Amino acid sequence: MTALTDRPRIVAAAGTLLWRRSDHAAGIEVALVHRERYDDWSWPKGKLDPGEGWVEAAARETFEETGLRPRLGVPLPKSVYSMPRGGVKEVRYWAAQSVAGKGRLTHEVDEVAWLSPRAARERLSYERDARQLQALLEADGRGELETWPFVVVRHGESVGRKHWDGRDLDRPLDSEGRDQAKRLVGVLSAYAVPRVISSPAKRCMSTIRPYAGHEHLVIERRKRLSEEGFEDHPDRAAATTTHLLDRGTTVAVCTHRPVLPTILEVLADRARPDSTAQRTLRELATDVAADAMDKGEALICQVAGAGAAAVVVSVERNRPVRST
């Protein structure tokens, strides 16, 4: 039996494949970075900081190495490989588009090159990096590369009903919930969410408020997303979800456990039949009464298109670390 101490050390890292439309035959260009120290060309990436999540690291490292703020899109294959000095590195990647930034280089990178897929493939220093490029091109061929995030957030941990004497609408987050709300700032920033909609309940507003404050956004309150509003008019949450899909712009919606199945079912109906995205949404919609979607969790649904043509092409669960 292998001793626990014999297990290889895992180094966690994350990055992106920044892409943009172009006049090349493939229709897109991708960004490679050159590290002067190693004299190599690769995708922007880097190690997770202590306490940092994968998507937060991917966005941060991309900005540090390219000077461009990304909006993360569909997930791409991860890369796992042995390091020269021992241990194993696991790098998770996402497709991404730049939404801001001047491209000023202030990190270990001395050059960023936007290249056609063919030129990028030839310039890559590591064979393992070709896998992400191929996956990106395949997603583009399926019409699943150009997406926008529909983020469903369940409010954070809150003071229990039996410990609260006031109106349920005013029940606040507890200390764990406040920590979860702070964590969501980095998560939602990685997807550059420009619009936030919430139940007017204090525990929902407080979950999304740190991010809204960080980005100087006004939280749009919707009574239909509250437990009371949903109980009175259960069809309105579905109508809101459909309306947002029709608009086709990045948004985060914060709500409660009883409302989640309705929202998730609408999203599932927009996913390809029997796809991983649809199965995930259906399972969460069915199991939500058993807390399948955690308090403080952000469910990232990448959507291609808008209106009747909107299709949910990927679903990722960004779950908070449970306190012990």
- Sorted by where each begins, the domain ranges of the chain are 4-141, 148-318
Per-residue pLDDT at 186: 97
pLDDT in the model for residue 84: 80
User: What is the mean predicted confidence (pLDDT) over 139-148?
Assistant: 97
**Structural domain 148-318, CATH architecture:** 3-Layer(aba) Sandwich (3.40)
Least Cα distance to 95 among 13, 29, 168, 161 occurs for 29
Residue 289 has pLDDT above 80, yes or no: no
Residue 292 half-sphere exposure toward CB, CA atoms < 13 A: 15
The residue type found at 101 is: G
Strand 298-304 to strand 88-100: parallel, antiparallel, or no bridges (unpaired)? unpaired
Coil, helix or strand at residue 97: strand
| Residue 85: pLDDT over 60 | yes
| Rounded-to-integer distance, Cα 217 and Cα 206, Å | 14
pLDDT of 324 > 80? The answer is no
| Average pLDDT over all residues of the chain | 93
Q: What is the arithmetic mean of pLDDT over 172-176?
A: 96
Collapsing DSSP states into helix, strand and coil, what is residue 110?
strand
> Which ranges constitute the DSSP H helices of the chain?
54-66, 117-123, 130-141, 175-190, 202-215, 227-232, 235-247, 260-269, 276-287
Within this chain, domains 4-141 and 148-318 share the same CATH topology: no
In the predicted structure, residue 162 carries a pLDDT above the cut 80: yes
Q: Contact 136/97 with Cβ under 8 angstroms?
A: no
pLDDT for residue 323: 58
> What is the DSSP code (8-state) at residue 63?
H
- What topology does CATH give the domain 4-141? Nucleoside Triphosphate Pyrophosphohydrolase (3.90.79)
CA distance 97 to 117: 15
**Mean pLDDT value across residues 190-211:** 98
- For range 24-38, the mean pLDDT: 88
Of 162, 156, 173, the closest CA to residue 293 belongs to 156
Give the pLDDT score at 292: 79
pLDDT at 271: 98
How do residues 291-310 score in pLDDT, each as one tens digit?
579 999 999 999 999 999 99
Sign, CA dihedral 299-278-259-304, equals positive
